[in-house]
Structure 1
Amino acid sequence: MSNPNLTHILLVEDNPADARLIKEYVTEQSWPDIDADTPVIEHVDRLGSARKTATDDIDIILLDLGLPDSSGVETLDEMLGMSGSTPVVVLTGLDDERVGVDAVEHGAQDYLVKGDLSPRLLQQTLQYATRRERQQQQLQQRNAELALLNQVVRHDIRNDVAVILGWGDGLEPHVDEEGQTYLDRMLNAGEHITSITETVGDFLDVLEGTSDPELHPVDLESVLTNEIEKARSAYDNATITLTGDLHSGLTVTATDLLSSVFRNLLNNAVSHNDKPKPDITVHVEENEETVSVQIADNGPGVPDSQKNEIFGRGEMGLESSGSGIGLYLVDTLVTMYNGSVTLEDNDPAGSVFTVTLET
């Protein structure tokens, strides 16, 4: 394996014996693909000294969390804050290996147990940590470029579709009954394209989240009635009936993306319906600590073997055998809200999606 520019190591360790052993291990091991026989190792015994030493030419940092001027995860936090993109490998003792695991979850690239160290293990760990950090940086750069491309493409698509829909509306007085059928199909397809761009945008907002979402009370009545009205406008051949306990002041714990949950379920209920006039019933049931929203349709239904797969569970959404990104997004969002979404057969035909959310 090639060594990705691992020529300068910063060792932050206050125990002279441990520091001396690590220096010996670095010297003993043959390091490929660098100009010198071994990397240069810079040793400091205080976090304060590391602040002055953690310069851009440092390739990796070996960090003991128990220092005279700092201890515990706060030491790692400070080091990560000052080291920028330089990978950090934490050093732990035999009796606190769990600390190393926690450190990795907290942002360190890896950890080493001092009592288990060997020259070869030290080299491999530092090489792998450096390589992973570089790959993560490349992935972040690629994701940023893709996010920008997605933003531009979706913006251009929405603008072009808006122009097409405007031209279509202008054509209505000039087409006969047969032409009106094709014009309606064209306008519906345009609205569907716009809906897809919104769904993709919502999905990327979820994927790009760098921390847990801030859940807060969301007005269910406002969100649900708004999405029902939009669905009625988009699908004038469908009947959408609202029943149950929906009332002013009814809130659920979610985020502002809750509207995307119901938009996708309503679109799914109509777009996958094989009846000339889709019949959709939205029923709200309020319980002590939860609210359930059922969206029932009179479509073809879903075979039992596909009821779980349709959400893309256990698979990548776009690779799944389900109905596509819309239902995958629904399942992802509802799970994020600590809720659940289920699918059952409707009587006598069709499907019932039930979303249950905490109040």
Structure 2
Amino acid sequence: MVADRQATQRVLLVEDDPADAQLYQTMLQQLQADSLEAMTAPSVAVEHVETLEAALSTLHDDADGIDVVLLDLNLADSVAFSTLEAVLEVEANVAVVVLTGIDDGSLGLEAVERGAQDFLVKDHVTPRVLTRTVTYAIERKRRTLELERQRRELAVLNWLVRHEIRDDAAVVLGWIDELEPAGPTEERIVSRIAGAGDHIVELTESVGAMVQALEEPEPALESIHLETVLDEEITRLEERHDGISVDRESDHEASTVVCADRFLNVVVRNVLTNAVVHDDTDAPELSVRVRTVERSRDDLEKPSDERRADGEDDTVCLEIADTGPGIPATERRRVIEPNESGRQGGTGLGLYLVRTFVERYGGHLEIEANQPRGTVVRILLESAA
């Protein structure tokens, strides 16, 4: 169990030295008698056992009632990390603070790596240090459990989006291909249904990529050929949207291999799709430029009008300009935030997803006005050359 911040903290003290055990119980309850600390310090209830067997029995019978285990690793019936492993095997959801008589930081760090929330060297324990360590360990475990719960929920969401919803959309699109419209009105209806189905498929890919990003806080980057990604996504765009014109230009003398991952396709697709679906003209025109610029990593954090000096590292710049209605300067920062719809409605996911992945790649996203009309989205990525 993980205690509420205002509730009583139930501590299971596992210590085979009676003198040490009495000392820790006194320390934990000492602040309760201090009028200055009692206003903020939670009340503490301590249950003391001397062996691992007794500790495991207590956890087995009343795991939900214990908030933190103060655990001496060396007991009469167990020694070293096997003691910690046995406790965590019986109850993985309880916070554990390891007590060690050895003033060795590496031992304490290894205990944390094996699943403990913290460690204390017995000779350095004071009432305030002990109380705060217990409180922080409980809170740290609570947050860890919450993150694990969220990850499980994200995994379920990922499955539903990437499989169930996507499969149903594929069925709809498959049946649409079998339809033979009798006239212009029917053709228009079928076209709109097909467009909505395609959009559902694209959204499942975007949501799936976002869930994957949240599940993998440290991305494994690799060398990705940006030109290959552009070939695939521009072809996809032209197949799904009629009447668009894409003017493409690349710096063929420079390498356009960038540091990214398999979701770079989703990033480029979102920018290209946004440029088309938000265009209010009958024939959207896109300008796609890829070039290499020299900018340092620190230089990427400066405002665009200050990033003109030569940098240290080659950076690949992907620039996608459209001729749509544009984004007012006051909204350019908002449209890359979650839950912001941006121009002409929408889910607000696209550019936020783009920013999320670009920053995961160590890059930078810029949004500027196009001239005489439209928007320029500029993605700066580290070169892998």
What's the TM-score once normalised by structure 2's chain length?
0.72
Structure 1 counterpart of 2:159, one-letter code: Q
- In structure 1, the partner of 2:355 is 331
| Matched residue, 2:119 | 90
Counterparts of 1:169 and 1:45 in 2: how far apart (Å)? 67
**Given the superposition, is the C-alpha separation of residues 12 and 216 from structure 1 closer, same or farther in structure 2, using an over 3 Å criterion?**
farther
Counterpart secondary structure, 2:316: strand
1:320 partnered with 2:344: no
1:76 equivalent in alignment to 2:120: no
Is the aligned partner of 1:260 residue 2:266? yes
Which residues of structure 2 form unaligned runs of 5+? Answer: 1-5, 33-40, 51-70, 295-313
1:181-330 equivalence runs, <5 A: 181-210=188-217, 212-246=218-252, 250-288=256-294, 289-312=314-337, 317=338, 319-320=339-340, 322=342, 324-330=348-354
Percentage identity across paired residues of the two chains: 32
1:27 deviation in Å?
5.9
- Cα RMSD of the aligned pairs, angstroms, is 3.5
Q: Deviations over 1:3-50 (max 9, x none)?
A: 36x34134799xx9988753531365669998xx63216574769933
Residue aligned with 1:301, SS: coil
Structure 1 unpaired stretches of 5+: 95-112
Determine the C-alpha separation between the residues in 2 that align with 1:164 and 1:248: 44
| AA matched with 1:228 | I
1:160 aligns with 2:160: no
- Aligned match of 1:62 in 84, 94, 97? 97
State the 1:330 CA deviation.
0.5
Distance 1:65 1:258, change over 3 A: farther
Question: Retained in 1: the 8 A contact 2:72–2:100?
Answer: no
- TM-aligned CA distance change 1:270 to 1:32, over 3 Å: closer
- The residue number in structure 1 matching 2:57 is none
8 Å contact 2:73–2:83 — kept in the other structure? no
Report the counterpart of residue 137 of structure 2 in structure 1.
Answer: 129
Q: Which residue of 2 aligns with 1:107?
A: none
Deviation at 1:264, TM superposition (A): 0.4
Q: Displacement, 1:258?
A: 1.1
Residue correspondences, number: 320
Contact 1:9–1:62 (CA under 8 A) maintained in structure 2: no
**Partner in structure 2 of residue 101 of structure 1:** none
Are the counterparts in 2 of residues 3 and 127 from structure 1 also a CA contact under 8 Å?
A: no
CA displacement, residues 216-249 of structure 1 (integer Å, 9 cap, x when unaligned): 2111111111111111111122222211325796
- Indicate conservation of the 8 Å contact 1:291/1:356, yes or no: yes
Q: Secondary structure at the match of 2:46?
A: coil
Amino acid aligned to 1:327? L
Which of 169, 177, 201 in structure 2 is aligned with 1:169? 177
- Which whole-Å CA distance do the structure 2 matches of 1:332 and 1:65 have between them? 42
Return the alpha-carbon distance in structure 1 between the equivalents of residues 174 and 73 of structure 2. 70
Q: Deviations over 1:77-124 (max 9, x none)?
A: 4313544xxx52333799xxxxxxxxxxxxxxxxxx845x33xx6446
Instruction: Answer yes or no: is the 8 Å Cα contact 1:10–1:62 preserved in 2.
Output: no
- C-alpha spacing 1:143/1:167, structure 2 compared with 1 (3 Å): same
